[in-house]
Amino acid sequence: MPYPWKSRFVYGTGGDITDWTTSLPARPWARIIRSVGGSRTAAGGVPASHVVRRDYLLAVTLRLTELETVDLAWLIAWGQSSEYFLWYPDADDETESYAVYLEHPVAGEDLEEQRSAEFPSVIEATIVLRRILGAPWPLDYFACEEE
């Protein structure tokens, strides 16, 4: 049985399309909900707020071989140009993909890679994705264990 949750990324334009699948599964992801707006409390203690936008983000920790860090660098270069790309959370499932923007690292931010504590030959890097639809993520990392 193949590993579930190997990420697949498809990006590019015209005849220059990149289709990259990681060789190792991603770690369990983490959801982040970010809102853009503000709030204040009046002198009388009554709160007031406004929300301009709510972002539902997903922090995905990719597990890579050292050679795959080059593929990750190309993906990040594409994402930092504010272009969207397709992300397949499980490369073996062609039916579930998401059009996403790269939220981290954006241009000017560093991507910090680390060696895995369990497997020193494995590199781990966390990227943050946002769906272009702006909707929450309907993903359950551990759903495949229940089958």
pLDDT tens-digit map of 54-63? 999 999 999 9
Q: How confident is the model at residue 2 (pLDDT cuts 50, 70, 90)?
A: low
State the pLDDT at residue 131. 96
Neighbours of 74 (CB within 10 A): 14
pLDDT tens-digit map of 19-41? 999 999 999 999 999 999 999 99
- Predicted TM-score (pTM) of the model is 0.90
Domain residue limits, the chain: 8-37+49-146
Beta strands 8-13 and 85-88 are antiparallel
State the pLDDT at residue 4. 85
Task: Report the DSSP beta bridge partners of residue 61.
Answer: 126
Q: What angle do CA 55, 138, 89 make, to 5 degrees?
A: 95
State the pLDDT at residue 145. 54
